[in-house]
Amino acid sequence: MTSLEGSSILVLGASGGLGSEIARLLAAGGARLILSGRDPAKLEALAIPGAAVAADLTDPDAITALVAEAVSLNGRLDGIVNASGVVAFGPAVEVSDETLTELFALNTLAPIRLLRAARAALAESAEQGRAPFVVTLSGVVSESPTANLAAYSASKAALAAFGQAAGRELRRSGIRILDARPGHTETDLSTHPISGTAPRLPTGYSPAAVAQRVVDAIVNGERDLASTSFHP
């Protein structure tokens, strides 16, 4: 079991539909949050207890600075929830270089750099008897790559593969990586793609329900949330 009470947790994508729901649940459990996103105004408007720190995750130096500030604000770092990301729609053979660069910068490279930057702080948390964790949200497309979402699927599948391998490496350090792969969830992500237009999608999962399942997994020490772990 992982106790949320008093834990220091960095939530990326905190102003998004799923990130905000997860943040609220973590705050209700007594966690001390560092809320991060691109837009400072959106972070402040959340009205969730915690420190708001804007950051551009496409910038490697910004990721390093964000982790350092998170540790400075609460004196330690016990967990990370990465709910940030972008989506793009369209045929696989028509995806532009600009779209590819942004998809992989945010969905794949940013989480890798984040773990690299946070490893020492998370290992220290483990040494002090806590149960540090990193949550990634690769989503169902990492299990089932989807037509007209080929590049997006690839960016998320790469994230899932990295998490599986890194999780094995970090077990001895006491750091747990949890990858969550919910199906389509009713957030604004699909309505703001960086390219293309979303097709008509079936009604997705409730963000509140997905967030609750993720937070339950954090508390219960789970390491993997397959798509079958989520229900409408």
Question: What is the 3-class SS of 28-86, one letter each residue?
Answer: HCCCEEEEEECCHHHHHHCCCCCEEEECCCCCHHHHHHHHHHHHHHHCCCCEEEECCCC
The residue with greater pLDDT, 74 or 1, is 74
Residue at 135 is within a domain: yes
pLDDT band, residue 29 (cuts 50/70/90): very high
Average pLDDT for 18-47: 96
Average pLDDT for 107-126: 98
Residue at 179 is within a domain: yes
Residue at 231 is within a domain: no
- The mean pLDDT of the chain is 96
pLDDT at 232: 74
Residue at 176 is within a domain: yes
Q: Is 53 left (phi over 0), alpha (psi -120 to 50) or beta?
A: beta
| pLDDT tens profile 45-88 | 999 999 999 999 999 999 999 999 999 999 999 999 999 999 99
Long-range contacts of 98-102 (CB under 8 A, 24+ apart): 99/151, 99/194, 99/195, 100/151, 102/58, 102/194
Residue at 87 is within a domain: yes
Distance CA 39, CA 157 (A): 27
What amino acid positions are annotated as catalytic residues? 152
| pLDDT tens profile 154-175 | 999 999 999 999 999 999 999 9
Residue-range definition of the domain harbouring residue 89? 8-226
Residue at 165 is within a domain: yes
Where residue 137 sits, what CATH number does that domain have?
3.40.50.720
Residue 129 contacts by C-beta under 8 Å, 6 or more apart in sequence? Answer: none
Residue at 47 is within a domain: yes
Residue at 12 is within a domain: yes
How many distinct structural domains can be found in the chain?
1
Average pLDDT for 221-229: 97
Is the separation of the CB atoms in 17 and 84 below 8 Å? Answer: no
Average pLDDT for 120-143: 97
